[in-house]
Amino acid sequence: MLYNCGARVSEVAGLTWGDLQLTAPRQVRLRGKGRKERLLPLWRETADALHRLRGMSLAADQQHVFVNRHGQPLTRDGIAYVLHKHAAAAARQRPALARKRITPHVLRHSCAVALLQSGTDVTVIRDYLGHSSIATTGRYLTVNLQMKREAMQAFWKQAGIEPAQARAWKPKPDLLAFLQSL
């Protein structure tokens, strides 16, 4: 849910079942800063997971989507705890994840970068994230190495320049010995 919508953790914490439409067109109404609302699409997988979650609900009158074991709405810290628990479990399968700091905000940032990489205009990303200013959105949109590589290749193609096919440099043993002696 956090990644699908690029939602703030506070928006997810306040989410009620009345904010969701889990059948086509699948969507969610999020309430952001300043009580601003935005309507976002939900992936089928997200809607299906939320539908299963609703089926697990013990209380028929439960309004909040994400609750703790006592039926109380999860707090921001509670959501971060659940995310941390699942990230740790995933790290057992993918050890590289153990070195990453995965927080709810990281999922929001990752959503913004994925939208940028897909070619989505920054003004659409601004609205998707619920920002009032493009300047705020710009902080999320760091260009990663793959995007830089693709931009360089597009430039080479447009300019008619072939990228150099240089072999990797390998230092000679005497140079390595010299450097180690320093």
Catalytic residue numbers read 8, 33, 105, 108, 131, 140
pLDDT of residue 13: 97
Per the domain annotation, does 166 fall within a domain? Answer: no
Out of 32-36, 80-84, 110-114, 138-142, the most confident range is 80-84
Residue 28 covered by a domain: yes
Rounded-to-integer distance, Cα 82 and Cα 78, Å: 6
CATH number of the domain that residue 149 is part of: 1.10.443.10
Sorted by sequence, the CB contacts under 8 Å of residue 49 that are 6+ apart come out as 1
Range scoring the smallest mean pLDDT among 46-55, 105-114, 156-165: 156-165
Query: Could you tell me if residue 177 is inside a domain?
Result: no
**Cβ(40)–Cβ(32) below 8 Å:** no
Q: Which two tokens stand for residue 115?
A: 């939208």
Domain that holds residue 81: 2-159
Overall domain count for the chain:
1
Query: Residue 109 pLDDT > 80, yes or no?
Result: yes
Residue 172 lies in a domain: no
Mean pLDDT of 121-131: 93
pTM for the model: 0.74
Q: What percent of the chain has pLDDT over 90?
A: 58
In-domain check, residue 182 = no
